[in-house]
Amino acid sequence: MIVEAVMTTPVISVEPSATVAEAAKLMLADRISGLPVTTRDGTLVGMISEGDLLRRGELGTERKRSSWLEFLVGPGTLADEYVRTHGRKVEQVMSADPVTTRRDAPLEEVVTAMSRHRIKRLPVLESGKVVGIVARSDVLRALARTLATDLPNAVADDQIQEAVLAELDKQKWGSKFIRVHVENGVVTLTGAIFDDREGEAAKVVAENVPGVKAVIDQIAWIEPFSGMVVLPEEVGTHQQGSEDD
């Protein structure tokens, strides 16, 4: 999936000369936690988010340090922090040089960037102009749409079995000792594993195969140090969604 398939457009933005109060009111009114900061022609110059407004002199939430830490930090840094906590214009408190993406970027790149930089949204640029924005909420909406797709038509048991085995075979953790049996769409997992976490992962593999109605766990866990065999305390059946839900 690419960014263009999930991004939000048109984009609500704010100009650098706007006041912090205007930006805050805009975020509250539109229920968004961050805004691209753009010039009138749409050129991106920064981002302003709730995080940029948490430490404010008006609220008494600005960072407080001991006198010796202030000495170590230096006057330049202290002056910069004062501007960010007391500045009245967006350009004084915004985050410059924000992380951006493009229309055709894989969604994986965006999610990786969000995790690495601990950010919630990326502006989508085209020729330096903002054409969209992709936020965590957009990724969640894409996931919800994917999970909400209609249940597939009946799938043959042998096709389900092949799909489960193929996915297990692709995984580095996939145990070669797991056996798969399918009858009327119900997958039964048997065999043995040496790490109990592999059992839960194997169930997830089966649950994600189209046509699977339920998963029964009958996998034995062999404790690798003692060789003790632990059998499932009770047969676990993981029902998929049905018309009665």
| 245 domain residue, yes or no | no
| 7 domain residue, yes or no | yes
| 152 domain residue, yes or no | no
Are residues 176 and 109 both part of a single domain?
A: no
Buried b (16+ CB within 10 A) or exposed e, 51-82: ebbebbeeeeeeeeeeeeeeeeeeeeeeeeee
DSSP label at residue 38: E
State which H helix or E strand residue 189 sits in.
strand 186-193
| 244 domain residue, yes or no | no
Are residues 59 and 9 both part of a single domain?
A: yes
Are residues 111 and 183 both part of a single domain?
A: no
Are residues 11 and 117 both part of a single domain?
A: yes
Are residues 108 and 180 both part of a single domain?
A: no
Are residues 12 and 107 both part of a single domain?
A: yes
Are residues 93 and 213 both part of a single domain?
A: no
CATH number at 128 reads 3.10.580.10
Average pLDDT over residues 15-24: 96
Do 70 and 41 form a contact (C-beta atoms < 8 A)?
A: no
Comparing 159 with 147, which gets the higher pLDDT?
Answer: 159
Q: How confident is the model at residue 57 (pLDDT cuts 50, 70, 90)?
A: confident
State how far Cα 237 lies from the chain centre: 29
Bridge partners of 89?
19
Are residues 165 and 219 both part of a single domain?
A: yes
Q: What is the pLDDT of residue 64?
A: 80
Are residues 85 and 170 both part of a single domain?
A: no
Are residues 34 and 76 both part of a single domain?
A: yes
Q: Name the residue type at position 175.
A: S
Q: What is the pLDDT of residue 152?
A: 61
Is the predicted pLDDT of residue 237 greater than 80, yes or no?
no
Average pLDDT over residues 78-104: 92
Average pLDDT over residues 55-81: 81
Per the structure block, which two tokens stand in for 69?
């830490």
Number of domains in the chain: 2
Average pLDDT over residues 135-161: 83
CATH number at 217 reads 3.30.1340.30
Are residues 137 and 182 both part of a single domain?
A: no
Q: What is the pLDDT of residue 69?
A: 75
Are residues 86 and 185 both part of a single domain?
A: no
* End position of a domain, from candidates 92, 126, 146: 146
Domain hosting 32: range is 3-146
Using DSSP, how many helices (H) and how many strands (E) does the chain show? 8, 10
